[in-house]
Structure 1
């Protein structure tokens, strides 16, 4: 537990004290956010606010995990390194997107195909590697089985190992793309995505600690064959989740309304990738749908709006994603953020309740 607390503390301290340094640097370079012209009019006052703050979140997470591992005097395990690869890789794509927006002085950065191609390279690399690097018991970081609170009987490898690998890569990349874009869409109001992410990763820190205490791999006496968890490196997942939680919590000090810095695509793609990676590596792919319910609602609202307009030429919402709908309906930005945080908290509690409930009835 010491390493987990240290990882959270380091992540928080890095983002809390390094962010103002980054803000001053970005101000000097005039690296500011460009606002979409069709958005709420009140957002034009945010034009020029420094972006790419996700660099601090990623840095705090990496350093938190490294220091936590060092304190425990243990090298990072395969699952932890793969998750960090996913976070840093997607963060790098987001950084290129943010930098392109600044260079072009408009709200559009990389072309859609460039973004998708970059996410595919990172996602495929993560997916293939996650089905390798087995430990002494033969357990790999990821599994071809679809998971709820643990692996189910539905195995993508029903047609053999090669078919299983191909289907898993497709499934894994679908999750990575969906969650990274969901967090990206949610990051439209000061502190909204940061606060929700703090709660989500706090939940995953607790889930991973529980999985470690009930692990089938570490020979705990209380781990019964039916109820123990087949997760390769739960302690590493707990440390990274705690570091992410701490980094988001510290960053929220500067990102809360009125935001002095935005995380940008650098942060939102990295955080979405982290959520997808955690769901895959902890075998909680469908529990994540509940825990990240706010992010899911945001991306579904965008899909619904686009689909409705293309089919009927009518819009279901005043504006997508969902938070802008309520803004244009008269809610203040702070009201939207706080109420959406409450929704995110309810989703997190519901997800953890389902996770623990599954353990009790199994």
Structure 2
């Protein structure tokens, strides 16, 4: 909004020329969302406590350390969503279609997550929305977003799949791109949701992935940099760096309240919306495979659940002591802070590997 209001006056007020730079507006989005999180955080937490009573239900099979968290409010993802949406709308170019597509996914998936969290609280159990209802809601939003993206993107970019480590190579998936992109968005969303099981565990990897994709979006949207690096140039994606910056700032602000011992949980409201947004950004910037590397921690968490379920159904035996995998290490005797910090380190390493694909081509 500031760009649309102030940049047209740049010839008369030289200071307003700063708004033409995506880097400046990304920095502004980071600071704005951070401040919003700090300001609204205590109020949101107090409100959540007042309406949720005994807080999020805790599964009985969890460790004693988890049972002690009973009474901690959930739906803290509302704090992230508010900070990200307000900050993005303030600093982004409102005429950019890709930004609105990502905001659609953020809000749509956030509403599905809110419904799930709300039912958990009102029913006083850990079930929430049925898996079919949750999947149906996210599919509807993802299909709408992918359809909008394809309508806004020229051919052959719209259905192309870029391959890391190879210059200017993209596989044209045709109409198969639609289900592929939907799976990327939904898969990213649910993988982040599964990772959000310990205080602060998902928050830092989310910020790391958002920071990586801020850079990727900026480079993909710049014809000079994209040609130099041999990556797909997608005009207009640079504005997504502003959204990613807002997500980094909101994540930092939320971590202040989510750091052990957490004052509030993210809940499905936050994890589904943020994960879906990262998936949508990966689709738009043509870096879906790189997302699987940068967000490799999320992939690992999701795979651990799939392996556990498949093994138990086929053999009656469990591969892990408990899934997702962060609980497996807790069962092995790792303290919660140890699991969280070591998983953060893994997330940093995977992010560096993912970013290396931009140059190693």
Which digits, 9 at most, give the CA deviation of each residue in 1:299-325, with x for residues without a partner? 001111111111111111110000000
Q: Say whether 1:191 aligns with 2:200.
A: yes
Q: 1:268 to 1:252 in 2, by over 3 A?
A: same
User: For 2:191, which of 167, 172, 182 is the aligned residue?
Assistant: 182
- 5 Å-filtered alignment, 1:268-347, equals 268-347=271-350
User: For 2:61, which of 28, 35, 38 is the aligned residue?
Assistant: 38
User: For 2:170, which of 153, 178, 191 is the aligned residue?
Assistant: 153
CA contact (8 A) 1:145 1:152 kept: no
> Secondary structure of 1:192's partner?
coil
- 5 Å-filtered alignment, 1:76-225, equals 76-134=95-153, 138=154, 143-149=158-164, 152-157=169-174, 164=175, 167-213=176-222, 215=223, 220=224, 224=227
Q: Provide TM-score, normalisation by structure 2.
A: 0.89
CA distance in 2, matches of 1:233, 1:322: 38
Which digits, 9 at most, give the CA deviation of each residue in 1:148-176, with x for residues without a partner? 3487432122xxxxxx2xx2221111112
Shift of 1:223: 6.1
Q: 1:58 to 1:50 in 2, by over 3 A?
A: same
Match of 2:254 in 1: 251
CA distance in 1, matches of 2:266, 2:107: 14
Q: CA RMSD in A?
A: 1.8
Q: Provide TM-score, normalisation by structure 1.
A: 0.89
CA distance in 1, matches of 2:229, 2:131: 45
Q: Which ranges in structure 2 are unaligned for 5 or more consecutive residues?
A: 1-22
Q: Say whether 1:12 aligns with 2:34.
A: yes
Q: Say whether 1:66 aligns with 2:85.
A: no
> Secondary structure of 2:178's partner?
helix
Shift of 1:17: 2.0
CA distance in 1, matches of 2:229, 2:255: 40
> Secondary structure of 1:154's partner?
strand
CA distance in 2, matches of 1:118, 1:223: 35
CA distance in 2, matches of 1:197, 1:223: 25
CA distance in 1, matches of 2:84, 2:168: 27
Q: 1:231 to 1:324 in 2, by over 3 A?
A: same
- Which is further off, 37-46 or 175-184? 37-46
